[in-house]
Amino acid sequence: MRKKKNIFSKLPLNRYFDILMLIFLTAFPFFTKEFRVEMMGRYICYAIFAISLDLLWGYTGLLSLGHAVLFGMGGYMIGISYQIQNGVVPAFMQREGITEIPWFYLPLQNPIVASILGILIPALFAALIGYFVFTSKIKGVFFTIITLALAQIFKDFIINVQKYTNGFNGLQSIKRFSVNGSTPLTKTTYYYVVLVIAVLVFIFCLWLTNSRVGKICTSVRENEARLGFLGYNAGAFKILIYTISGALAGLSGVLYAPATSTITTEDIGVTASTMVVIWVAVGGRGNLTGAVFGALLINWAQSILSEHFSSAWQLIIGALLLVVIYFIPNGVIGQIVALQRRIITDRKKNKLMEETPKSKKMAVVK
């Protein structure tokens, strides 16, 4: 009995928070309208996206300002898949004079294959970029700049190859995973599918960050030079974590596009990449809970507030980011965890001070 209590008191506060959020999200469809459920499903996709950035930024200390590129790759894969079902050439391709589906789109006809590719291609892309950036001696800051440039260029690219991607207008009528013409999932079922995948991703990340690889990634953040002295190849671990993060971002994109049934260039550019950074910064980085909480909180706030302040929303976001950096640098959840840790250590110290006889007190203080 006593042992059990110990385990619970050791568990950080944010894990209780996770359980509370999970219970809330599971019960959510029972007491709201269907369109709210659809919205929440979208935000859970965003939460997976935020987790993928948290792995990269919170745990490994690599800030990416172009993470939406990987998200968009996943979304576009599944989006294209539903444009070319049953060998129909979509209208935007016919307008440009394409009468046959191009060969590189053929494997995407099957949505399952498209989803798998939507996870693999961002991962490979991340690995490639990671190889060039992380194996050189370049400063860490440059990764941020490269990813920012990437976000701008990728958006330009998608708009430019309008023949194949419908440019500015984006892709519409993406169905919720109807395979071979079967009826698509209902909104509520799809919500639970997304939720289950989100929980699996969360558990995977929890395992990953507590494993040896995760610990090494944390030490990349803390002191990369020393990690090198200990004989670890920091670059390889950075590439690995960027690849995993890319795969998860792609997965969130694959789930997101059917949830809204559209994907446009708005979802892949610099603005989208900034938003995910802000979710993680506000929620708190480096503890997974913060990413999920931040994504859900900011998006709800946006859906409620932007009705009143739609013109000034970006301004609010900028100011919010400044407030977080200067006043709560750990983010909301990070602050709570830090507070709890401090209380526990204080209590332990006090306990020891009370229990030990006077002569030993000095030793304890040391």
Partner 1 sequence: MGTFISQLINGLNQSSILLIATMGLVIIFGYMNVTNMAHGSMIMLGGVSAFILMEVLHLPFGIALIGCFIITGIIGMITEKLLIKRLYSKPTETILATYALSIILTELVRIKYPLSQNVHMPLPGAFHIGRVTIPYYNIFILVFSFAVLSLTLLFFRKTTFGKMLGSVTQNRTMTECLGIKTSTIDTLTFGYGAGLAGVSGCVLAPTTGVSYDMGSTYLTDTFMTNVVGGIQSFAGTAISSGIIGEGRTITAGFLNETWAKIIIFMIVIVLIRFRPEGLFTKERR
> What is the contact surface with partner 1 in residues (CB under 8 A)?
61, 63, 65, 129, 132-133, 135-138, 140-142, 144-146, 148-150, 152-153, 156-157, 159-160, 270, 274, 277, 281, 311-312, 314-315, 317-319, 321-322, 325-326, 329
Which residues are registered as beta bridge partners of 171?
263
Nearest to 331 by CA among 267, 297, 271, 285: 285
Identity of residue 62: L
Rounded to an integer, what distance in angstroms lies between the CA atom of residue 47 and that of residue 293? 8
Give least dist CB 132 to partner 1, A: 5
The structure tokens listed for 298 are: 């900011």
| Maximal CA-CA distance, the chain | 90
Give least dist CB 253 to partner 1, A: 21
Residue 314 vs 345, nearer CB to partner 1? 314
Give the single-character DSSP code of 1. Answer: -
Residue 80 vs 277, nearer CB to partner 1? 277
Give least dist CB 249 to partner 1, A: 19
Residue 12 vs 140, nearer CB to partner 1? 140
Residue 116 vs 128, nearer CB to partner 1? 128
Give the single-character DSSP code of 263. Answer: B
Residue 102 vs 329, nearer CB to partner 1? 329
Give the single-character DSSP code of 211. Answer: S
Give least dist CB 353 to partner 1, A: 34
Rounded to an integer, what distance in angstroms lies between the CA atom of residue 116 and that of residue 90? 22
Give least dist CB 265 to partner 1, A: 13
The alpha helices in 161-186, defined as continuous H runs, are 162-165
Nearest to 263 by CA among 118, 107, 112: 118
Contact between residue 249 and residue 74 where contact means Cβ atoms under 8 Å apart: yes
Residue 98 vs 145, nearer CB to partner 1? 145
Rounded to an integer, what distance in angstroms lies between the CA atom of residue 139 and that of residue 141? 5
The alpha helices in the chain, defined as continuous H runs, are 2-10, 13-27, 34-53, 68-83, 91-95, 111-134, 140-160, 162-165, 187-210, 212-222, 224-229, 234-260, 270-283, 289-309, 313-327, 331-355, 358-365
Residue 41 vs 284, nearer CB to partner 1? 284
Residue 160 vs 233, nearer CB to partner 1? 160
Contact between residue 307 and residue 319 where contact means Cβ atoms under 8 Å apart: no
Residue 105 vs 157, nearer CB to partner 1? 157
Which residues are registered as beta bridge partners of 263?
171
Helices 34-53 and 270-283: angle between axes, nearest 10 degrees? 80
Rounded to an integer, what distance in angstroms lies between the CA atom of residue 226 and that of residue 330? 24
Residue 61 vs 294, nearer CB to partner 1? 61
Give least dist CB 165 to partner 1, A: 12
Half-sphere exposure of 284 (CA within 13 A, CB side): 16
Give least dist CB 173 to partner 1, A: 27
Give least dist CB 113 to partner 1, A: 27
